Every structure is written in structure tokens, then in C-alpha cells.
Amino acid sequence: MAIAQEPSAQAPASLSSQSRAGCRLALAVLCVPLLIVSLDNTVLNVALPTLVRRLHASDSELQWIVDSYVLVFGGLMLVSGSLADRIGRKRTFLAGLLLFAACSVWAALSGSSGMLIAARASMGVGATLIMPATLAIITNIFTDPGERQRALGIWSGTTGAGVALGPIVGGLLLAHFAWGSIFLINVPIALLGFAFAIPLVPDSRNVDAKRPDFAGSVLSVLGLGLVLWGVIEAPVHGWTSAEVLGTGCGGLGVLAAFVAWEARSSHPMLRLEFFRRRAFSAATSSTGMMMFGLMGTLFVLTQFLQFQLGYSALQAGVRMLPAAGSIALIAPFSPIFVRRLGTKLTVGLGLALVAAGLLQISGATSAWTYVDTLAGTIMLGVGAGFVMPAAVGSLMGTLPLEHTGVGSATNGSFINIGGALGVAIIGSVMATRYQHDVSASLAGHPVPPAVHDAVLGSLGEALAVAGHVGGAAGAGIAMAARSAFMSGMDLALTVGGGAVLAGAILALAVLPMRTQPPSRKG
């Protein structure tokens, strides 16, 4: 395909005249690297017990290992979208692939929790260059509304399936290789994507795009980072402690400053006027709430399958297949439901199913087996499959073509921020209840301080301590820790389910029934 540049608000003629076969090849080349970028949101979930054993990671460190990637991925996506519009979406995509591959090697070689957190954050920089560029290129290639909606369905299905397939791929690799293999697998895929993208993917850009808003980017990442620190560290310091309240409020203040800066900036990376359109603002919040529920549940559920039910990483990953399969199966057909039911009902139904999945699993007891979680897991995947394509089609359908890079970056930011908050909030609610119940169970028993601190760190550490202690005392520690974990998981998923249900109600109240086609002038 020839490289084309956007001379105006209209789609470049060279892109709109590409053969369908060429467009489909480009779509495939874009979606394969997107799969590994999305997969890395959750591929670590089944490795969490391994990281507890190998790196002695605590619950809060596990959350940071997961969220450092998602935080940078989402926090920098707005500026990367602006960068893609300015210098070219294909160039940005290619640069992201090379950076993602290099940082994946660093992550694979990490020898401590701190190093792995830093490597994961660096991988997020590469990922944030990849995702918005793919969506912007697809929106420019497929100019027919029907073909674009189908392409967005495939893009959304790839994104959602990558998130849900992460535990399966991670389990397969951990069954045969060292834990670093879950990152090394990214390298050949990224390099192949780079090689095929050069001849097959067209370039486009907005010649009138403003320079990237780096100051706004710093404010957004700093604000989100402070808020996440407050949430993740709350179980350690206390939800009402000065450290947590001060950091959390400081983060909210920085985010308020970010919004004020964007409102006055001559080259904002977050175009606030887009949020005046209900089809855009409600759609972005819906994708964020969907990922909140999906990421938070996968973070908790993979630990339940391994620590509570005793499955290996591979066995746990395979048992997440119903969620991944449901997303992959439903997402390509979501446009059919949009045509028949409208965007409002399709997104609202999807979020309600995600909420129902969380609430069903929140009823888990120590007597539950995997089969008891199956209905909730399937509802989670089906709901995500409904929401993602419909919401993405809604928000992208409201934007002029010259702003597709910024629009897709905004969508990607809400997806990743929603996922990061899901892991942080659901994980921290679970950890708080776990620590409270474990402390209550051990109160009055002669437990050494070092043992007590290890048991409070995570269920995995508690089970390791119980095995080392042995006898009746070890069995008591294990029983108390398992019971506390189940109590924490149930409360966390109940809170998460309630939040997603509120998102479903909001979508039904605010989203328009149908999305207007994109205007040609911004």
C-alpha cells in the first residue's frame, strides 16, 4: 500500500480506493500486535503466585506489577494519539513495536519486584504508541460506515480477546518455560508485525495537528499515579491514614489541574469539547467501566483458581477460556445488535451482563468448585463482547476524520484507566478484608511478628508459611488465610459489580440510541 498523508479533513483518496483485500491484510497486520499489547494487561495474572514465590512480592507489589503497565499505557495514550496525528500513524505504530519488543526483554530478565515494575512501565510506553495508531489507521482505511463498524468489531474483539486470553497464554508458557517467557513471546510477534507493516499498512496524518501536549501528559500520569498509589497502598497504611488521604487528594488535585490546563491549552491532547457529545462521553465511560470489571475480576479470579482450588498456572489459564471465547465470539456480531437494538441498549445490556457476572462470582464460598464460577465467567465475557465494539463505534462515529488519532487515544486511555482502577480498587478491597479477617483469626495466638507480617502480605505467602510451620499450627494458619481470602474476594467483587451496574444505568440514561456519522469538519 502506498503511504498517504491527509491533506485536509477528508480521508485521503489513496486510502479510500484501496482494495478490500488490501484493507483486510492491513487490518490483520494491525490486529496481531494489538493482541499482544492487550494480552499483556492480564498475562501476568496466572504468574502472580510464581512471583510471590520467586520475587517474594506482596499484594501491593503484585498490584503495582500489573498496574504500572496499565498506568503508563493509559496515561500517555492521549499524547501518543496527538503524536500519531502529527508525525504519522504508521511511523508511531512502528516505533511502538520496536520499543515494546526491547522492553519485553528487560521485563523477562528482571530479578526483583522493583525492576519488574520499572520494565512493565517501560513496556507501557511502547504499547501506548501502538494502540491509538491502530484504531486511527483502521478508521481512515475503512471509510464506508458499515465496513468501518465491522472492522471496529474485529479490532474490539482482538482487544477484548487479548485481555481474556492473557491467563491462558501465560499458563501455557509457565507450564513449559521460566516465568520470563511470558514477556519474551512478545519479541518475535512485534518484529514480524514491524516487517509486515512496512509494505502492507498505509500511513496517514493530520497536517493541521498541533504539537503534542507534554505538560498535560505529565499532569495526567502524575495525577493518576498518585490516586492509584493511594488506593493500592490503603490496605498497608489504612484507608483513613494521612499518607493515603493526602496522596489521593493530591492526585485528584493534579487531575483537576490537568483538566484546567487542557481547557486553556492551545494544543490540548484531551479535547474537552468532544465530551459534550453524549455518544462520545457516555461511550468512553462505558468502555472504562467494562474494563474495570473485567480486569479486576481476572486479577482476583486467577488467584482463587490457583491458591484456593489448587490449579496450576496452565490449568487456571485454561479455565479462563470461557471468558476469552465469549468475547471473541460475541464481539464481531455486536454490530448486528447495534443495528437492531441501537447503541444504548447494546452497551447497557453488555454492562449489565458484566455486573451480573461479578455479582454471581461474589457469592463464592470455600465449598465452591470451578463449575460454580462458570456462569459468571461467561456473563463477563459476553458482556464485554457486547460493550467494546458498540461503544468504540459510538465514540469514533462522532469524530471528524482528522481527529481519529486523538479520539482513539482518548478511548484507549479510558480502557486502560478503567482496568487500572479495577485492579487497584477490587484488589485493595480484597486485601483490606483479607488482612482484617486474618488478624482477627490470629489474635491471641502466639505468632511471631515475622510470621504475622508474611501472612498479612498475601494468601500465597500465608500458605508458604503454613507449609513451613506444619502441624496443627500450620493447618490453622492456612485455614484462616483461605477463609479471609474468600471473604475479601466476595466483598471486592460485590463492590465491583455494583460499580459496573451503576455504569450500565448511566449508559442507558445518557447514550443516544443511534450514532450520527462522522462529520468532515472538526
Answer whether residue 466 is part of any domain.
no
pLDDT of residue 274: 76
Same domain, 258 and 289: no
Q: Which residue has the higher pLDDT, 496 or 402?
A: 496
Are 352 and 499 in contact by the 8 Å Cβ rule? The answer is no
Same domain, 238 and 122: no
Same domain, 33 and 64: yes
Name 221's Cβ contacts closer than 8 Å, sequence gap at least 6.
71, 72, 75, 76
Given the C-alpha cell 479490532, which residue does it identify? Answer: 155
Answer yes or no: is pLDDT of 423 > 50.
yes
Same domain, 237 and 117: no
Average pLDDT over residues 364-383: 93
Average pLDDT over residues 97-122: 93
% of the chain beyond a pLDDT of 70:
89
Give pTM, 2 decimals: 0.77
Answer whether residue 124 is part of any domain.
yes
pLDDT of residue 503: 92
pLDDT of residue 160: 66
Same domain, 201 and 221: no
The vertex-32 CA angle with 29 and 36, nearest 5°, equals 145
* Whole-angstrom distance, CA of residue 118 vs CA of residue 167: 22
Answer yes or no: is pLDDT of 371 > 50.
yes
pLDDT of residue 132: 78
Average pLDDT over residues 153-177: 80
pLDDT of residue 148: 78
Residue 153 DSSP label: H
Answer yes or no: is pLDDT of 381 > 70.
yes
C-alpha cell at 474: 500450620
Name the residue among 428, 51, 435 with its Cα closest to residue 228. Answer: 428
Same domain, 228 and 360: no
Q: pLDDT, tens digit, for every residue of 167-200?
A: 888 888 988 899 899 999 999 999 999 999 999 8
Given the C-alpha cell 486470553, which residue does it identify? Answer: 165
Same domain, 154 and 234: no
Q: pLDDT, tens digit, for every residue of 313-327?
A: 888 888 888 887 888
6, β-bridge pairs: 206
Q: How many CB atoms lie within 10 A of CB 111?
A: 9
* Whole-angstrom distance, CA of residue 240 vs CA of residue 306: 32
pLDDT of residue 1: 34
Confidence of residue 515 (pLDDT cuts 50, 70, 90): low
The boundaries of the domain holding residue 377 are 13-213+267-440+483-510
Q: What is the mean pLDDT of the chain?
A: 83
pLDDT of residue 463: 82
Same domain, 50 and 177: yes
Same domain, 197 and 220: no
Answer whether residue 252 is part of any domain.
yes
Answer whether residue 311 is part of any domain.
yes
In the chain, how many domains are there? 2
Hey, CA dihedral for 282, 284, 290, 292, is it positive or negative? negative
- Termini Cα distance of the chain: 27
pLDDT of residue 209: 64
pLDDT of residue 10: 41
pLDDT of residue 96: 93
CATH of residue 429's domain is 1.20.1250.20
Asked which of 287-296, 304-313, 378-387, 450-459 is least confident by mean pLDDT, the reply is 450-459
Answer whether residue 161 is part of any domain.
yes
pLDDT of residue 51: 84
Answer yes or no: is pLDDT of 346 > 50.
yes
Average pLDDT over residues 116-121: 93
Q: Which residue has the higher pLDDT, 408 or 341?
A: 341
Answer whether residue 53 is part of any domain.
yes
Answer yes or no: is pLDDT of 42 > 70.
yes
Q: pLDDT, tens digit, for every residue of 204-243?
A: 776 666 677 778 888 888 988 899 888 888 887 888 899 9
Answer yes or no: is pLDDT of 88 > 70.
yes
Answer whether residue 458 is part of any domain.
no
* Whole-angstrom distance, CA of residue 295 vs CA of residue 374: 17
Name the residue among 244, 242, 270 with its Cα closest to residue 257. Answer: 270
Answer whether residue 62 is part of any domain.
yes
The vertex-115 CA angle with 109 and 121, nearest 5°, equals 100
Confidence of residue 99 (pLDDT cuts 50, 70, 90): very high
Same domain, 280 and 421: yes
pLDDT of residue 149: 74
Name the residue among 411, 69, 103, 62 with its Cα closest to residue 225. Answer: 69
Asked which of 18-22, 87-91, 276-280, 295-299 is least confident by mean pLDDT, the reply is 18-22
- Domain stops at, among 266, 287, 307: 266
Confidence of residue 3 (pLDDT cuts 50, 70, 90): very low
- Domain stops at, among 203, 238, 266: 266
C-alpha cell at 72: 503508563
pLDDT of residue 400: 65
pLDDT of residue 192: 93
Same domain, 254 and 127: no
Dihedral (Cα; 215, 117, 41, 280), 10-degree rounding: -20
pLDDT of residue 398: 67
Confidence of residue 517 (pLDDT cuts 50, 70, 90): low
- Domain stops at, among 266, 298, 329: 266
Same domain, 255 and 195: no
